[in-house]
């Protein structure tokens, strides 16, 4: 290996103000997750404001998330060449400007373009800050940085409903986006002072594998878009979904083939062969699935069955979000004192217990009935995700920061999207099945059915004018009761599915072995000012 390569492999010196770096990780990651979730929750308001139909508007959150997926691998390359500090500062500016302009967009096409810009800007936050934790912070601060990283996903996802509901009801939907511009200012300051000033690596810029990274990014993005739009377009019945999946798989195949022919590939796939690494990646995906399940199942039930608004739904999800300010620091303190593998298994067990507790759901449940289950899920998911990435860090050598950042970004986005797609498809099919089974016991002419309709009609008579109106409304109420029961049972099945996934995760933890010994890195090269 030549001198240049040795310098590349050397660990970077610590950041001048490491706690500011941790704060930057937290704020940037929370902002990214929150923006994705806010766009989805506030989609109806945004569609109405820009005059977009349901099918057209479905591409609004996809444009943002797909841009994040596209820039993820490229951000790793750019951060390696131009340094993370430069890339994050530029990404912060692009993100802040795009979010400010979004409410001012005159039509859907302009709105989608700005969404892509915002996604490209914010898509640099996660991969570069995740690798920053393990490559720039002192080892003693790893648990704190990783706890901040894990906290962002759960906090951002679960506080979004309350924020979006408050903006729509008390201010204006524009603040769904303008709040991100406000956050971008302090985030810029944190990146400026909290990250190291390093020189541009001109040699890597000339000889780095930008084309390979672009090909891999395109492949992951195509598959991601297919997953995101699959349920709406009925999966393999859609030519668009099939085409996107086929092109994505081909691009990923060419990417892997291309990387295998290089003497020094941008991503070190030898890391995947290292002991425990594949299991740890799967555990990250499992945790992302569980986080998605705890957020979406409760929210969808409260909206579909109880008829709550986003602000009211947010009151329940705050049982997951607000305790993070206590849970995350506690987890960081614990990781320096207990075995990471024990922490991973314990976190999964606690989260699984929360999902099993939620299987007692009935159609009469309200927000407060979920509080204990959601609190257990919040504790378990934060402990597990922080511990699994912390243990992952013990498997990294001095030159593995780039590959680690790419893996974490891909697992984060794909885990969330795969979890969303699986849960939507699973609960939809479960609802149809339960509706069919319940419908078999609600036959026209059956004495019990007719008695139920009569009781509904009697209750509706004082509110109904015209002959036969009360009976028709009674039939409508019976149909609504059937739908509510079917959806409640589908939510129960979703919680049970999440519990099964959690138990499988516990079994995977039993497969983990001690981290392999990683060579001691050579002394760091002193930084030069920007």
At residue 510, φ and ψ (nearest 5 deg) are -65, -20
The Cα–Cα gap between 389 and 404 comes to 10
pTM of the entire predicted model? 0.78
Transcribe 203-271 into DSSP letters: HHHHHS-HHHHHHHHHHHHHHHHHHHHHTTTTGGG-HHHHHHHHHHHHHHHHHHHHHHT-SS-SS-GGG
List Cα–Cα distances, 243 to 200, 230, 235, 239, 249, in angstroms: 39, 11, 11, 6, 10
- Say what angle helices 401-439 and 210-230 make with each other, to 10 degrees: 10
**C-beta separation of 486 from 363 below 8 A:** no
DSSP secondary structure letter of residue 490: H
Task: List the structure tokens of 259.
Answer: 């990387």
Q: Which SS3 state, helix, strand or coil, does residue 12 take?
A: coil
**C-beta separation of 478 from 452 below 8 A:** yes
The pLDDT, as a whole number, for residue 2 is 41
Q: Tokens 């903006």 appear where?
A: 167
The Cα–Cα gap between 344 and 140 comes to 19
DSSP secondary structure letter of residue 264: S
Q: Tokens 């507790």 appear where?
A: 357
**C-beta separation of 201 from 357 below 8 A:** no
**C-beta separation of 284 from 415 below 8 A:** yes
Task: List the structure tokens of 498.
Answer: 């999440």
The pLDDT, as a whole number, for residue 243 is 96
Give the residue among 291, 30, 24 at the shortest CA–CA distance from 152: 30
The Cα–Cα gap between 58 and 47 comes to 9
Q: Which SS3 state, helix, strand or coil, does residue 172 take?
A: coil
How would you class 412 by CB atoms within 10 Å of its CB: exposed for 0-12, middle for 13-18, buried for 19 or more?
buried
The Cα–Cα gap between 185 and 20 comes to 14
The Cα–Cα gap between 368 and 384 comes to 25
The Cα–Cα gap between 28 and 135 comes to 18
Task: List the structure tokens of 184.
Answer: 């971008």
Give the residue among 58, 191, 174, 172 at the shortest CA–CA distance from 122: 191
Ramachandran bin of 369, using left for φ above 0, alpha for ψ from -120 to 50, beta for the remaining angles: alpha
SS3 content of the chain, % helix, strand, coil (to 5): 80, 0, 20
pLDDT in tens, the chain (530 residues): 343 344 333 444 555 566 776 677 667 777 777 777 666 666 777 787 777 877 888 888 889 989 988 988 788 788 888 888 888 899 999 999 999 999 998 888 999 999 999 999 988 887 776 666 766 677 777 777 777 777 766 776 667 767 777 777 778 878 888 988 988 888 898 888 877 788 888 888 887 778 888 888 899 899 989 988 888 888 888 999 999 999 999 999 998 888 878 777 766 677 777 888 889 989 988 988 998 888 788 888 888 888 777 667 766 777 677 777 788 888 888 887 888 899 999 999 999 999 999 999 998 898 888 889 988 988 898 888 888 888 887 887 766 766 777 777 777 777 777 888 888 889 999 998 988 888 776 656 556 566 665 665 555 555 555 545 665 665 666 677 778 888 999 999 999 999 999 999 999 999 998 887 764 443 333 333 33
**C-beta separation of 294 from 319 below 8 A:** no
Q: Which SS3 state, helix, strand or coil, does residue 201 take?
A: coil
The pLDDT, as a whole number, for residue 520 is 40
């Amino acid at each position: 290996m030549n001198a240049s390569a040795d310098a590349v492999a050397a660990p970077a010196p610590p950041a001048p103000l490491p706690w500011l770096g941790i704060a930057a990780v937290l704020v940037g990651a929370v902002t990214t997750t929150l923006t994705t979730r806010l766009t989805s929750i506030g989609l109806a308001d945004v569609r109405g404001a820009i005059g977009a139909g349901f099918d057209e508007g479905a591409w609004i959150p996809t444009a943002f998330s797909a841009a994040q997926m596209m820039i993820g691998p490229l951000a790793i390359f750019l951060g390696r060449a131009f340094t993370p500090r430069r890339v994050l500062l530029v990404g912060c500016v692009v993100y802040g400007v795009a979010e400010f302009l979004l409410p001012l967009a005159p039509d859907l096409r302009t709105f989608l373009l700005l969404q892509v810009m915002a996604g490209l800007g914010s898509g640099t936050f996660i991969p570069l800050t995740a690798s920053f934790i393990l490559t720039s912070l002192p080892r003693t601060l790893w648990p704190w940085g990783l706890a901040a990283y894990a906290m962002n996903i759960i906090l951002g996802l679960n506080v979004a409903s309350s924020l979006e509901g408050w903006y729509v009801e008390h201010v204006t939907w524009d603040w769904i986006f303008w709040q991100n511009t406000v956050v971008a200012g302090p985030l810029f300051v944190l990146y400026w002072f909290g990250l190291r000033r390093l020189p541009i690596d001109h040699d890597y810029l000339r000889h780095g594998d930008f084309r390979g990274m672009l090909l891999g990014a395109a492949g992951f993005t195509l598959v991601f878009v297919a997953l995101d739009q699959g349920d709406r377009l009925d999966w393999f019945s859609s030519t668009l979904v099939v085409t996107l999946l086929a092109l994505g798989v081909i691009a990923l195949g060419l990417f892997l083939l291309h990387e295998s022919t290089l003497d020094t590939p941008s991503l070190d796939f030898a890391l995947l062969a290292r002991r425990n690494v594949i299991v740890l990646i799967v555990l990250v995906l499992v945790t992302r699935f569980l986080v998605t399940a705890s957020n979406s199942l409760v929210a969808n039930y409260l909206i579909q069955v109880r008829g709550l608004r986003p602000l009211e739904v947010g009151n329940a999800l705050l049982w997951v979000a607000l305790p993070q300010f206590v849970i995350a620091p506690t987890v960081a303190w614990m990781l320096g004192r207990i075995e990471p593998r024990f922490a991973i298994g314990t976190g999964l067990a606690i989260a699984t217990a929360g999902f099993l507790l939620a299987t007692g759901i009935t159609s009469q449940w309200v927000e407060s009935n979920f509080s204990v289950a959601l609190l257990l899920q919040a504790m378990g998911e934060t402990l597990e995700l922080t511990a699994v990435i912390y243990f992952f860090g013990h498997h990294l050598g001095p030159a593995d920061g780039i590959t680690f950042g790419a893996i974490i970004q891909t697992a984060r986005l794909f885990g969330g999207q795969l979890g969303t797609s699986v849960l939507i498809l699973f609960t939809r099919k479960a609802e149809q099945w339960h509706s069919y089974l319940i419908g078999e016991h609600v036959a026209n002419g059956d004495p019990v059915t007719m008695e139920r309709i009569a009781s509904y009609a009697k209750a509706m008579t004082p509110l109904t004018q015209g002959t036969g109106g009360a009976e028709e409304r009674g039939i409508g109420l019976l149909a609504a009761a059937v739908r509510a029961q079917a959806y409640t049972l589908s939510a129960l099945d979703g919680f049970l599915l999440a519990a099964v996934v959690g138990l499988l995760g516990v079994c995977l933890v039993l497969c983990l072995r001690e981290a392999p010994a990683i060579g001691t890195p050579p002394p760091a090269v002193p930084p030069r000012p920007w």
